[in-house]
Chain A
Amino acid sequence: MMLTILTFLPLIAGVLVTLLGPDRQKLGRNLAFAASLLALALALSLWALFVNSRSGMQFVERVPWVPSLGIEYHLGVDGLGLLMVLLSALIVPFAMRASWKIENNPKLYFSLVLFLESGLFGTFTAQNFIHWFLFWELSLIPAFFLIRMWGGPKRTSAAFQFFLYTMAGSVAMLAAFLALYAATGAFDFAQLAEAAHRGGLFADHKTLAAAVFLGVFLGLAVKVPLVPFHTWLPAAYAEAPTGTAMLLTGAMSKMGVYGFLRILWPIFPEQMRAWRLPLLALAAATIVFPAAAAFAQKDLKRMVAYSSINHLGYCLLGIFAVVRLTEGSADSTNEQAAALNGVILQMFNHGLTASALFYFVGLIEQRGGALRGLNDFGGLRRAAPVFCGLMGIALFASLGLPGLNGFPGEFLIFKGALQLAPRTALLSIPGLLLTAIFLLTILQRVFSGPLPAKWNGWPDLTTGERLTVLPVMALIFVLGLFPQLLTGVANPAVMRMLKLF
Chain B
Amino acid sequence: MPAWTIYISFLGAAFLMFLPGDDPRPARVTALLAALAGLACAAMGIIECRHHVAAGVLTDVANAPWIAELGIRYHLAADGISLVLVLLTGIAAVAGVLFSWNVENRSREFFALYLALIGGVYGVFLSVDLFLLFVFYEIAIIPKYFLIAIWGSTRREYGAMKLALYSFVGSAMVLVGLIAAYVVAGGKTFDLVELAKYPFPAAFQNWAFVLVFVGFAILAGLWPFHTWAPTGHVAAPTAASMLLAGVVMKLGAYGALRVAMTLFPIGLHTWQNTIAVLAVVGIVYGALVALVQQDFKFVIGYSSVSHMGFVLLGLMTLTQIGLSGAVLQMFSHGIIAGLLFAVVGRMVYDRTHTRDLAKLQPMNLNQVLPFAAVTFVVGCAASMGLPGFSGFIAELQVLVGAWQTFPVFAVLAAVGILVGAAYTLRVLLKAFFAEGVVDAQDLPRLQPITAPERAGTLLLLAATLIIGLYPRILMELITPSLNSPLMRPLWKAGLR
Q: Which residues of A are in contact with B by a Cβ distance under 8 Å?
A: 65-69, 130, 133-134, 137-138, 140-141, 145, 148-149, 156, 160, 163-164, 167-168, 171-172, 174-175, 178-179, 181-182
A138 touches B399 (CB 8 A): no
Report, nearest first, the 6 A-B pairs whose CB atoms are least far apart: A134-B387, A175-B414, A167-B421, A137-B386, A178-B400, A171-B418
Shortest Cβ gap from B343 to chain A (Å): 17
Interface pair A68/B421, CB less than 8 Å apart: no
* CB-CB under 8 A for A171 and B387, given A66-B472, A156-B429, A156-B435: no
Q: Is the interface of B mostly helix, strand, loop or mixed?
A: helix
State whether B400 touches A182 (Cβ < 8 A): yes
Does B393 make an interface contact (CB < 8 A)? yes
Residues on the A chain within 8 Å of B414, using CB: 171-172, 174-175
CB-based contact A138/B388 at 8 Å: yes
Pairwise interchain contact A164-B422, C-beta atoms closer than 8 A: yes
Apart from A141-B381, A168-B418, A182-B403, list 15 A-B contacts with CB within 8 A. Answer: A66-B475, A67-B472, A69-B393, A134-B388, A138-B386, A138-B388, A156-B429, A160-B425, A164-B422, A164-B425, A167-B418, A167-B421, A175-B414, A181-B400, A182-B404
Chain A min CB distance to B264 (Å)? 28
By a CB distance below 8 angstroms, the chain A residues around B146 are: none
Residues of B within 8 A of A182 (CB): 400, 403-404
The yes or no answer to B433 lying at the interface (CB within 8 A) is: yes
Complex-state Cα separation, A140 to B388, whole angstroms: 13
User: How far apart are B422's CB and chain A's nearest CB, in angstroms?
Assistant: 6
Q: What residues of chain B lie closer than 8 Å to A134, measured between beta carbons?
A: 387-388, 392
Contacts of A171 in B (CB 8 A): 414, 417-418, 421
Q: Show 19 A/B contacts (Cβ-Cβ < 8 Å), sorted by A.
A: A67-B472, A68-B475, A68-B479, A137-B386, A137-B388, A141-B386, A148-B429, A148-B433, A149-B433, A156-B433, A164-B422, A168-B418, A171-B417, A172-B414, A175-B399, A175-B411, A175-B414, A178-B403, A182-B403
- B380-395 at interface with A (beta carbon < 8 Å): 381, 384, 386-388, 392-393
CA of A484 to CA of B321, assembled, Å: 50
* In contact, A141 and B377 (Cβ under 8 angstroms): yes
Q: Does B205 contact A (CB under 8 A)?
A: no
A63, chain B: closest CB distance, angstroms: 11
Residue B397 CB within 8 A of the other chain? yes
Verify if B369 is at the interface (C-beta below 8 Å from A). Answer: no
Residues of the B chain whose Cβ atoms lie less than 8 Å from the Cβ of A138:
386-388
B26 at the interface (CB under 8 A from A): no
Indicate whether A130 sits within 8 Å of B387 (C-beta atoms), given known contacts A66-B393, A178-B396: yes
Range of interface residues on B (Cβ < 8 Å): 20 to 34
Q: Is B342 in contact with chain A by the CB < 8 A criterion?
A: no
Give Cα A182–Cα B321 distance, bound, in whole angstroms: 10
Interface residues of B in 400-458 (CB under 8 A from A): 400, 403-404, 410-411, 414, 417-418, 421-422, 425, 429, 433, 435
Q: Which residues on B sit within 8 Å (CB–CB) of A163? A: 421, 425
- Residue B471 interfacial (CB < 8 Å): yes
CA distance A206 to B377 in the complex (A): 41
Which residues of B lie under 8 Å from residue A160 when comparing CB positions? 425, 429
Q: Which of B178-194 contact A (CB under 8 A)?
A: none
Give every chain A residue within 8 A of B411 (Cβ-Cβ): 175
Contact call A133/B429, Cβ cutoff below 8 A: no
A-chain residues with CB within 8 Å of residue B399 when the two chains form the complex: 174-175, 178
A130 to B404, CA, bound (A): 19
Cα of A179 to Cα of B472 in the assembled complex, Å: 22
Residues from 219 to 267 in B contacting A, C-beta threshold 8 Å: none
A148 to B366 alpha-carbon distance, docked (Å): 12
Q: How far is the CA of A160 from the CA of B425 in the complex (A)?
A: 8
User: Which of chain A's residues have a CB closer than 8 A to the CB of B429?
Assistant: 148, 156, 160
Would you give the shortest CB distance from B433 to chain A, in whole angstroms? 7
Bound form: Cα–Cα A164–B397 in Å = 23
Cβ contacts under 8 Å, B471 to chain A:
66
Distance between B81 CB and nearest chain A CB, rounded to angstroms = 16
- Chain A nearest CB from B291 CB (Å) reads 12
Q: Which residues of A contact B388 (CB under 8 A)?
A: 134, 137-138
Q: Which residues of A contact B381 (CB under 8 A)?
A: 141
Return the chain A residue nearest B374 by Cβ: A18
**B387 partner residues in chain A, CB cutoff 8 A:** 130, 133-134, 137-138
**B396, B400, B422, B429: which has the most chain A beta carbons within 10 Å?**
B396
Question: Which B residue sits closest to A160, measured CB to CB?
Answer: B425
A181 to B319, CA, bound (A): 14
B371: shortest Cβ distance to chain A, in Å?
11
Contacting residues, chain B, for A68 (C-beta < 8 A) = 475, 479
CA A194 – CA B180 in complex, angstroms?
Answer: 55
Nearest Cβ in chain A — how far from B46, in angstroms?
18
> Who on chain B is nearest to A172 by CB?
B414
Tell me the complex Cα distance, A164–B414, Å.
14
Q: How far is the CA of A167 from the CA of B386 in the complex (A)?
A: 10
How far, in angstroms, from A79 to B381 measured CA to CA in the complex? 33
Smallest beta-carbon distance B322→chain A, Å: 11
| Contact residues in B for A140 (Cβ distance below 8 Å) | 386
Please measure, in the bound complex, the distance between the C-alpha atom of A134 and the C-alpha atom of B386, giving whole angstroms. Answer: 7
Q: How far is B325's CA from A69's CA once the two chains are assembled, in angstroms?
A: 11
CB contacts (< 8 Å) of A66 on chain B: these are 393, 471-472, 475
- Look across to chain A and name the residue whose beta carbon is closest to the beta carbon of B411: A175
A342 to chain B, nearest CB (A): 33
Q: How far, in Å, is A151 (CB) from chain B's closest CB?
A: 12
Could you say which residues of chain A place their CB within 8 Å of the CB of B377? Answer: 141, 145
Residues from chain A with Cβ under 8 Å of B417 in the complex:
171
Give the distance in Å from the alpha carbon of A133 to the alpha carbon of B366 in the complex.
Answer: 28
B397 pairs with A69, CB closer than 8 A? yes
Closest to A153 in B: B436
Q: How far is the CB of B299 from chain A (nearest CB, A)?
A: 16
A243 and B381 CA atoms in complex are apart in Å by: 24
Return the chain A residue nearest B470 by Cβ: A65
Give the chain A neighbours of B479 by CB distance below 8 A. 68
Q: Roughly how many angstroms separate A314 CA and B387 CA in the complex, as a whole number?
A: 32
A281 to chain B minimum Cβ distance, whole angstroms, is: 27
Inter-chain contacts of B421 with A (CB < 8 A): 163-164, 167, 171
Distance of A160 Cα from B422 Cα, bound (Å): 9
A138→B388 CA distance, assembly (Å): 8
Of all chain B residues, which has the CB nearest A138? B388
**A145 contacts which chain B residues (CB < 8 A)?**
377
Q: Nearest residue in B to A133 (C-beta to C-beta)?
A: B387
A164: chain B residues within 8 A (beta carbon) = 421-422, 425
CA distance A66 to B392 in the complex (A): 13
- Shortest beta-carbon distance from A181 to chain B in Å: 6
Contacts of B470 in A (CB 8 A): 65
Measured between alpha carbons, how far is A174 from B385 in the docked complex, in Å?
11
Complex: A160 Cα to B396 Cα, angstroms: 24
Residues of B within 8 A of A172 (CB): 414
| A179–B386 touching, CB < 8 Å | no
Task: Please name all residues of chain B whose beta carbon is closer than 8 Å to the beta carbon of A167 when the two chains form the complex.
Answer: 384, 418, 421
Alpha-carbon gap, A491 to B471, bound state (A): 39
Q: Using CB atoms, name the residue of chain A closest to B386.
A: A137
What is the 8 Å Cβ interface bit string for chain B, positions 284-309, against chain A (1 contact, 0 not)?
A: 00000000000000000000000000
Give Cα distance in the complex from A172 to B418, angstroms. 9
| Cα of A149 to Cα of B438 in the assembled complex, Å | 12
Closest residue of chain A to B416 (Cβ to Cβ) is A171
Closest to B325 in A: A69
Most buried by A among B386, B392, B393: B386
Distance in Å: Cβ of A167 to nearest Cβ of chain B: 5
Residue of A nearest to B413 (CB): A175
A179 vs B396: C-alpha distance in the bound complex, in angstroms? 11
